[in-house]
A and B are shown apart, each in its own frame.
Chain A
């Protein structure tokens, strides 16, 4: 069941902007309001927008449930792996092993208001990305499963 051409065109135009906005929320999670969960939810709404415009069948052929399930599992594994690296380096589980080292995302930050530098936060941006990927997969998968339940089973 697809909507009219106006709705489909509007969805096509809005889709990349919603994706970019969600990605911005995920990546800037340690600087501005937001984070992995919120950004993943926004990206999932982009997929829901496509489903609303084009109908379940057309989208379920393109975005398969297997791919989304793998996405979700990949996000969770990346999240746990980021936390496990700290264990390998001799610190505690979930230790922030990148903060203040000067490596990727490792610029040290002093106390007080600042304009915000993306290259800070240690493992927090990595975990934000991992959780964003997981939530994106999970919420889209819930929507797809529920829609497949409402379709008449032949």
Chain B
């Protein structure tokens, strides 16, 4: 019984994931103004040669701020968990 449910789930998930993906062309992404703008103007505006770093730290700085905050809070959570585990020791 479990195997039947598992096979059915696999089939449903595979169909669900493959359906939107199968029509995409690998190597020929859809044209977006944003990416084109980053590649054409990112170097002049920020001075960095690495466009990915320009996007991460300049154009999408808020994203990185949230990312750094998530990492900080996760470490706080890990510390909280293990502090209670070891009985108050730092």
Binding site for B on A (CB under 8 A): 29-36, 65-66, 69, 72-73, 75-76, 79-80, 83, 93-94, 96, 99-100, 105-112, 114, 116, 120-124, 127-128, 131, 134-135, 137-138, 141-142, 145-146, 148-149, 153
Residue in B44, B50, B78 with the greatest tally of chain A CB atoms within 10 Å: B50
A31→B49 contact, CB < 8 A: yes
Chain B: CB-nearest residue to A135? B71
Describe B's contact surface by its main secondary structure: helix
Report B-chain residues with C-beta under 8 Å of the C-beta of A73.
72
Tell me if B86 is interfacial: C-beta within 8 Å of chain A.
Answer: yes
A99→B90 contact, CB < 8 A: no
Q: Given A29-B53, A145-B78, do A109 and B72 touch, yes or no (CB 8 Å)? A: no
Report A-chain residues with C-beta under 8 Å of the C-beta of B82.
145-146, 148-149
Report A-chain residues with C-beta under 8 Å of the C-beta of B85.
149, 153
Q: Given A72-B72, A76-B72, A99-B45, do A124 and B65 touch, yes or no (CB 8 Å)? A: no
Binding site for A on B (CB under 8 A): 40-41, 43-50, 52-54, 56-58, 61-62, 64-65, 68-69, 71-72, 74-75, 78-79, 81-82, 85-87, 89-90
Report B-chain residues with C-beta under 8 Å of the C-beta of A146.
78, 82
Residue in B46, B54, B78 with the greatest tally of chain A CB atoms within 10 Å: B46
**In the complex, what distance in Å separates the CA atom of A94 from the CA atom of B68?**
14
A80→B49 contact, CB < 8 A: no
B87→A76 contact, CB < 8 A: no
Report A-chain residues with C-beta under 8 Å of the C-beta of B71.
134-135, 138
Residue in B64, B74, B90 with the greatest tally of chain A CB atoms within 10 Å: B64
